[in-house]
Every structure is written in structure tokens, then in C-alpha cells.
Amino acid sequence: MMMSPKISDSQREKRKQQILDAAKRVFSEKGYGAATLKDIIEETGMSRGWIYLYFQTKEEIFEALLDHQDAEHEQYIEELLETSASIWDVITTLYSQQQDELLKPPRGGMLPAFYEYFLIGWRDSERSELLLQRYEEGIVRFAALLQKGVDQGEFSPAMSVSDISKLAASFQEGILTHTITVGPETANTQMQQEALIQYLHRLLHS
Amino acid sequence: MMMSPKISDSQREKRKQQILDAAKRVFSEKGYGAATLKDIIEETGMSRGWIYLYFQTKEEIFEALLDHQDAEHEQYIEELLETSASIWDVITTLYSQQQDELLKPPRGGMLPAFYEYFLIGWRDSERSELLLQRYEEGIVRFAALLQKGVDQGEFSPAMSVSDISKLAASFQEGILTHTITVGPETANTQMQQEALIQYLHRLLHS
């Protein structure tokens, strides 16, 4: 007990956040495979010992970062729901925020690292289990938003909100991967994003 | 001259084809990163020396396989154009053939290896150049097919055929990646593929 540094919960949280911020920069810059725990430690400017109080491996940091981003995303949706005039406004704001993220250098932010992590780990059963869980959560989260619009009389879709959520997720995923791999000019990302929003609008108003 | 085995051009082609077939099985089974040249050599049942007459590296074999598949795809489109009643029939046949390929075990065939090759190699400038070239060729090839339908009075799109080609490519890509990563039941691939075809139909008839 005497050996370990005594810090308050808020200090603990702050340090953890600093590690995740540093890791995000490293993964955005190098991708997943090429990034090392050493890179992340150096980026934090903290000592190895401090980091090991929180995380043991690069993988642990990466997964904590995903959880953290999900929590931020959930909170962001909650805030948008409180301040937006309609569910449709929430949706278009979410898409435009995602597009800003995508076009911000280094190209795609964390996304290439994300694809690397799961595609390479695709045959690893734990990782593929995590990916399946993340997919299902994402589909359910967006479907719940659509359902709210249905309940409020804003949307009148001919398909289930779950199927619409899956279609929007696929289309968006393809736009993301093409933008990352060939760039926003060649992929004509702006046009594609607008077409996706129009398509979604049509699915929601049958 | 005396040292090298004398074989005819057709024998040469046949051997090369055997190597590519073996490589396809190995890449479909193991992905790109985990597959080795040794795996491919063993799968062919030929001696190392024979293989080295054709290919020096795993990367060379992989790229030859992509070229070969492109040539096959081009030829397939040509055949469909001769036997189909309309361009729309050609398109729906292409999609349904791609879906069959996708649902065939091991899940996604060569696709996971393909994603691995380009996503991991994304920061490698030669590979990203090759990917850009492949993207552009694919977009142009499909746009040319759509243009043929426009010229024949079959389609009347409000957007450029190039933009429609990019939209269809993104949507299809997203369906492919989601199917590979979470499986056709969870992704509801059948429903998504039908929705993509309906969407494309709508884009072509404004």
C-alpha cells in the first residue's frame, strides 16, 4: 500500500484520459499493427510504470479507446436529442459530424486502425466476437433512434427500422472505406454522403 | 539453355494456372498475412524450382491472381452482354454471382485476403497506387456498362453514370465487409442485396 502512489479518483480518470488521447494520436498516425506500446508511452510523456497501473498491452488500450469513443458517441446523441427540433436533424448532424471526422487529416482518423484491428483479427474468435457485439450494438442504437422518429409520427418506413439501420450502416461503411483508400476527391465523398442521406430519407418516408 | 526444362506455351499457361488456383485456395483459407509462399508451394504439389520459374514472392502471386480474376470478370461481362436481353439483366446477374461467391465457404472467398492486402498496405505507396488504379478501373468498367444502357435508351439517370457507379460500389463494399465480419444472417445480406438492386434501379430511372 505504501509503495503505490496515492492519487484521487479524478486524478486517476484524468491520467487514464491522457493515455487514451495519446493512444488515439498514435493509432491515427500509424494504424494498429505498426503502433507499439512504446510509441504510446512516449506519446503520453509519462513513465512506463504509470501506464502499467492502467493497461498491460496495446490491445487493452485499443479496446478501452473503443469503449470510450462509444460512450462519447452515446452522450453526443443524448445531447443532440435534447437540442434538435427533430430526429431527422439528429441524424443529419450525426452524419455530417462523421464526415468531418473522416476528412480530417490524418485521413480517416482512427478508422484505418479500426479496420486493421478487426480485419486482421477476423479469424481470432475473441476479436470477431467483439466485432459482432459492436455491430449489433451499433445497429440497435441507430434503429432505436429511427424508432423514436416512428413513434413521434416523424417517419413512416415500409421496412423494419432494424433493416434500415443495417442498410444505412453498410452504405456508410462502404463510403468510409472508399474514402480512406482512394481519397475524398476520387471517391466523390461529398456527393456520396448526400446520396446516402437522400436514400435514408426515402426509406423513412414510404 | 540446356538446363531449363523445355515446355510449350500451353503447358506454361497450364502450370501458371495451377499455381494461381492453389494460391487462391490458400489465400481464401488463411488470408494474406498468415499465408506463406511455402503454403502455396505445398498446395500446388510442385517443386520449389518450378514455382520460382513463374513467381519470386507471395506478393507477386497475389497480384497475378488479382489480374487473372479481373480478366475473368471482364470476359464474363462480355459473355453476359452477348447472352442477356438487357443491360439490367447483365447487372442483376453480376450481383447475384457476386453474392453466391460471398456466401460460399470459407466465408467471403478471397475477399478477406484482399482487404488485408490493401488495408495493411494502405500506407505503402506502391500498394495504395495499385488500389487507386483498381478502384478507378472498377468504377469506369461499371459506368461503361451503365452508359451502354443509357445509349440504348434502357436507362435514364438523373446523375452521371460515374457517380452512380461510385454509389453502387460503396454500398456493395459495405454489404461485403459486413457480411464477411458478422455473417450473412446477422447482416441480413439477402435483404441488403435486394435493397441495393432496387436502389440502383431507382438511380437509373429518374
CB atoms within 10 A of CB B27: 26
Q: Is there a single domain that holds both residue A58 and residue A102?
A: no
Q: Are A113 and A32 in contact (CB under 8 A)?
A: yes
Is residue B106 in some structural domain? Answer: yes
- Chain A positions touching B34 (Cβ under 8 A) are 123
Q: Is there a single domain that holds both residue A57 and residue A91?
A: no
Mutate to test the interface with B, among A171, A201, A203 (most CBs of B within 10 A): A171
Q: Which residues of chain B have pLDDT under 70?
A: 1-6, 106, 120, 122
Q: Name which of A71, A92, A103, A72 is nearest A187 in CA terms.
A: A103
Contact B166 A178 (CB under 8 A): yes
Rounded distance between C-alpha atoms, residue A177 and residue A136, angstroms: 20
Query: Percent of chain A at pLDDT above 90?
Result: 70
Is residue A93 in some structural domain? Answer: yes
Q: Is there a single domain that holds both residue A91 and residue A56?
A: no
Look at residue A3 and tell me whether its pLDDT is greater than 60. no
The answer to which of A42-51, A59-68, A101-110, B41-50 has the lowest mean pLDDT is A101-110
Is residue B137 in some structural domain? Answer: yes
Q: Extract the C-alpha cell encoding B47.
A: 517443386
Total domains present in chain A: 2
Q: Is there a single domain that holds both residue A54 and residue A119?
A: no
pLDDT in tens, A61-76: 999 999 999 999 999 9
pLDDT of residue B146: 98
CATH of the domain at B162: 1.10.357.10
Is residue A74 in some structural domain? Answer: no
CB atoms within 10 A of CB A191: 14
The answer to which of A58-62, A103-107, A156-160, B89-93 has the lowest mean pLDDT is A103-107
- Chain A positions touching B128 (Cβ under 8 A) are 181
pLDDT of residue A5: 57
**What's the DSSP call for residue A32?**
T
pLDDT in tens, A185-204: 999 999 999 999 999 999 99
Q: Is there a single domain that holds both residue A168 and residue A116?
A: yes
CATH of the domain at A47: 1.10.10.60
Q: Is there a single domain that holds both residue A46 and residue A147?
A: no
Rounded distance between C-alpha atoms, residue B135 and residue A180, angstroms: 12
Query: Percent of chain A at pLDDT above 70?
Result: 95
Is residue B31 in some structural domain? Answer: no
Q: Is there a single domain that holds both residue A43 and residue A134?
A: no
Domain containing residue A19:
7-64
- The more confidently predicted of residues A52 and B123 is A52
Give Cβ neighbours of residue A11 (< 8 Å, ≥ 6 apart): none
Of A123, A159, A177, the CB nearest to B31: A123
Contact A33 B120 (CB under 8 A): yes
pLDDT of residue B149: 98
Contact B128 A177 (CB under 8 A): no
Is residue A75 in some structural domain? Answer: no
Contact A170 B180 (CB under 8 A): no
Give Cβ neighbours of residue B190 (< 8 Å, ≥ 6 apart): B99, B184
Q: Is there a single domain that holds both residue A93 and residue A170?
A: yes
